[in-house]
Amino acid sequence: MAPSVIKFDHLERMTDDTGLLEHSLGRIPRRREGYSTDDNARAIWACLEWLALCEDKGEKERLHRLLDRYLAFLLWAQNDDGTFHNNFFFDRTKEEETPSDDCFGRSFWAAALAYVRLSDPARREAAADMLRRAMPAAWELRSLRGVAWGVATCGVLLTEGRPLGVDQEEVAALAARFEERLLAAYWEHAGDDWHWYEPELTYANGVMPWALWTAYRRAPRDEVKEVAEKSLAFLIEKMSGPGDIIRPIGNRGWCSRRYRADWDQQPLDVMKLALAAREAYWATDDERYRGVVRRCLAWFYGQNDGNAPLADPSDGSCCDGLGPNGPNPNRGAESTLSYLLTAAIAQSISVEVVVDESINNETVRMAGTRV
């Protein structure tokens, strides 16, 4: 049977009056592990994706309630210099940390999406304030994943943004800087058999080709399309296993020209591949990319190396990873959001998940599903 409703019960279970807790033991939140801004930024994004798809009034109200918590968290986590502190203890005190470009980029993206997609001016003002404060700090981004988030964020603000009180020429200059940084990284490392931006494939790889596909859709250039196309094809090849299943790059060694780790596999990497494939599909109308999204969704429902489902549609939760001995039974924020975002990405291009009631016999087909 096909689930008629995507569930957000576990997301709500993991959320308290501060924000989204980072980890769980099984399905139960582990408060002692505290919170991360990374996860609360992802949660803003997930809520906005599903608000655009959701037809049920009660679920829309729940998503707005959750979104308010996550926006409040992000507003609170922003430092005076416009950057974002990432890790917090349960008592709301800051953990010591090295500033993270990834965290900044992800938060920058979440604030921009909230700003352009929310219709309520009172909610939108919080996002606008964060963006205005973050813009000077964005020029300091150096890591490729942070830069990739910056490309997509600037693109959204240039194509969909309302007046923000920030010079659009500055946003365009920042977008061009980020785009050239990604292109330069690709040409520095790419070769005959290696079409990538770095000497290794590590984590969240899909964010880089995704960013360039967003740039191409906004302002088509042949070089941008070439790099986006080649790097995504390379990533799809490296993340494909026997029988056309998705096989994420394992975090016990990653993937280089000489070696590829198969374990452990992370839901986040599957979601980022689906994200890049959706953007490529929107840019090209090539059905092959839609098929990649289908395969990513299928990974969550058992079409994977473990032949084991990780996602549970009954509450919207997802196991934290897949290892050689099966799924990790914990269902933390990152994995759950990766599942919910992949499901939203799939629904937005009419890829439906069909799940047996026992969750032991899952298939995926092209169609439309509803929440």
CATH of the domain at 137: 1.50.10.10
* Mean residue pLDDT across the chain: 92
Domain that holds residue 109: 6-350
Domain count for the chain: 1
Whether residue 371 has pLDDT greater than 60: no
Rg (CA), the chain: 19
Is residue 288 situated within a structural domain? Answer: yes
124 close to 114: Cβ distance less than 8 angstroms:
yes
291-316: buried (b, 16+ CB within 10 Å) or exposed (e) per residue? bbbbbbbbbbbbbbbeeebbbbbebb
Is residue 127 situated within a structural domain? Answer: yes
20 close to 14: Cβ distance less than 8 angstroms:
yes
Q: What is the pLDDT of residues 91-111, one digit of tens each?
A: 999 999 999 999 999 999 999
Per-residue pLDDT band at 18 (split at 50, 70, 90): very high
Per-residue pLDDT band at 27 (split at 50, 70, 90): very high
How far, in Å, CA of 10 to CA of 12, rounded? 5
Whether residue 369 has pLDDT greater than 50: no
Per-residue pLDDT band at 352 (split at 50, 70, 90): confident
The predicted pLDDT at position 163 comes to 66
| Residue with tokens 């959701």, as numbered in its chain | 54
Per-residue pLDDT band at 193 (split at 50, 70, 90): very high
Is residue 114 situated within a structural domain? Answer: yes
The predicted pLDDT at position 290 comes to 96
Q: What is the pLDDT of residues 48-73, one digit of tens each?
A: 999 999 988 999 999 999 999 999 99
Identity at 227, one-letter amino acid code: V
Is residue 371 situated within a structural domain? Answer: no
**Per-residue pLDDT averaged across 323-349, rounded?**
96
Whether residue 274 has pLDDT greater than 50: yes
Whether residue 211 has pLDDT greater than 50: yes
Whether residue 1 has pLDDT greater than 60: no
Per-residue pLDDT band at 164 (split at 50, 70, 90): confident
Per-residue pLDDT band at 350 (split at 50, 70, 90): confident
pTM: 0.93
Between strands 362-366 and 87-88, the pairing is unpaired
Is residue 365 situated within a structural domain? Answer: no
Whether residue 248 has pLDDT greater than 60: yes
Is residue 364 situated within a structural domain? Answer: no
Is residue 239 situated within a structural domain? Answer: yes
SS (H, E, C) 253-272: CCECCCCECCCCECHHHHHH
Whether residue 360 has pLDDT greater than 50: no
Picking from 72-81, 272-281, 316-325, 353-362, which range would have the lowest pLDDT averaged per residue?
A: 353-362
Is residue 355 situated within a structural domain? Answer: no
Q: What is the pLDDT of residues 112-141, one digit of tens each?
A: 999 999 999 999 999 999 999 999 999 999
Per-residue pLDDT band at 368 (split at 50, 70, 90): very low
Kindly state the percentage of the chain with pLDDT values over 70.
Answer: 92
**Per-residue pLDDT averaged across 188-195, rounded?**
94
Among 207, 147, 153, 143, which residue's Cα sits nearest to residue 341?
207
Return left, alpha or beta for 189; rule: phi > 0 is left, psi -120 to 50 is alpha, else beta.
alpha
Per-residue pLDDT band at 167 (split at 50, 70, 90): confident
The predicted pLDDT at position 160 comes to 82
